[in-house]
Amino acid sequence: MSVLLKEMPYYACWFARCKLLGQRRPLQSVIFITDRCNLKCKHCNVVMEGPYASTMTYDEVRGHLQFSYDAGSRIVDFEGGEPQLWRDRVKGADLNSLIDLAREIGFFSTTVTTNAQQPITARSDLVWVSIDGLEAEHDYQRGPGTFSKAMRHIDEATHPNMNVNMTVTAHNWRDFTGVAKLVRDHPKLKRLSFSFYVPYEDRGLVVPAEVRAEITATAGALKQAGYPIMNSQAGMKLMRDPKSFADKRACWISNFVRSDGTRVMHCPGQDAGVCDECGFGMGPEMSLLFRLHPEMVLAGLKVRG
Ligand SMILES: C[S@@+](CC[C@H](N)C(=O)[O-])C[C@H]1O[C@@H](n2cnc3c(N)ncnc32)[C@H](O)[C@@H]1O
Ligand code: SF4
């Protein structure tokens, strides 16, 4: 029996409980295991430094994983800061120890998002590498030399399910097609997902409405032409205007744990008051998933393969 066939009864049951009984159970957990990072990207709202930086211990992560699993979640994304930097030296544990732990607890799937400034060694089911433009733009956003280092580590990695996430900003949007080509033509990369910059603090990188429309249209046409773009056509239409699906948002499908241990049962963007300017590709996709949109369901199944 295929892995997905084994998981399907759980997903069906989750859907029935949430749709028919009105329960609000997460399916995916995003755990910020550290807010330390080896970069200081211009668009990033996460990284803290000095005394404000926190990192979870192995036992703390275990507690948050168990809590999330008991709440209903079966997919976990290890986030940061830079998750590949995470260590618990007392326990002798690294990121792969957390991935193993999540599997032991019963999570169906594990994901890591990385800046790839170190070799990609995560054994998660899926790896997202952040590439925010071709060399000049990526380096502008993330720092000199970061593009070539990330590409070298992608070239050297042996992970079978490596993907790219691009955060589109007012500065780098002209590189979108170039990044799509890079992903299409790279033998080790499977697909590209993109989000628009979300203005938690700085408004300087906010993507104007007309550029959002242009990028989603370009992405739609590239996808139609066979480029491996993960965002669904229906999701990209909604991404044009985050207000367009305000009454259908299902951002509770992911629960979040901040690196200081704070648990939030919905996207933290809600508390920051940025929903009407949300750019996360996942936002529309979750709302489509909850409406059982066939394209979204299919995309969800494919990304696991
Ligand atoms: C916070 S980073 C953590 C993982 C890793 N350090 C990395 O850069 O991939 C995860 C993703 O969030 C994106 N991100 C950070 N700040 C953002 C913002 N304000 N709006 C949209 N995406 C953002 C990053 O570009 C990255 O792809
Ligand atoms: S590498 Fe990731 S966590 Fe670090 S500053 Fe950049 S976006 Fe933020």
Say how far apart CA 73 and CA 255 lie, in whole Å. Answer: 8
The one-character DSSP state at 42 is: T
> What local confidence, expressed as pLDDT, does residue 242 receive?
85
Residue type, 130: S
Would you kindly state where each structural domain of the chain is located, as residue ranges? Answer: 3-303
> What local confidence, expressed as pLDDT, does residue 188 receive?
97
> What local confidence, expressed as pLDDT, does residue 268 receive?
84
- Distance spanning both ends of the chain, measured CA to CA: 14
> What local confidence, expressed as pLDDT, does residue 87 receive?
96
> What local confidence, expressed as pLDDT, does residue 296 receive?
62
Residue bearing the CA closest to ligand 1, atom 5 = 114
* Level-2 CATH architecture, domain 3-303: Alpha-Beta Barrel (3.20)
Residue bearing the CA closest to ligand 2, atom 7 = 44
Of ligand 1's listed atoms, the one at least distance from the Cα of 198 is 20
CA of 43 to the centre of ligand 2 (A): 8
Q: List ligand 1's pocket residues with C-beta within 6 A.
A: 37, 43-46, 79-80, 82, 113-115, 130, 165, 167, 195, 197-198, 200, 279
**Which residues lie closer than 8 Å to 12 by C-beta, 6 or more apart?**
none
Q: Which residue has the tokens 């079966």?
A: 74
| Antiparallel, parallel or unpaired: β 109-114 and 93-94 | unpaired
Say how far apart CA 152 and CA 117 lie, in whole Å. Answer: 9
Of ligand 1's listed atoms, the one at least distance from the Cα of 44 is 16
Q: Which residue has the tokens 């104007």?
A: 208
> What local confidence, expressed as pLDDT, does residue 305 receive?
54
Of ligand 2's listed atoms, the one at least distance from the Cα of 167 is 7
Residues (pLDDT < 50) of the chain are: none
DSSP assignments along 179-190, one per residue: HHHHHHH-TTEE
> What local confidence, expressed as pLDDT, does residue 270 receive?
85
Asked if 114 contacts 78 with a C-beta cutoff of 8 angstroms, the reply is no
Q: Which residue has the tokens 């700085």?
A: 202
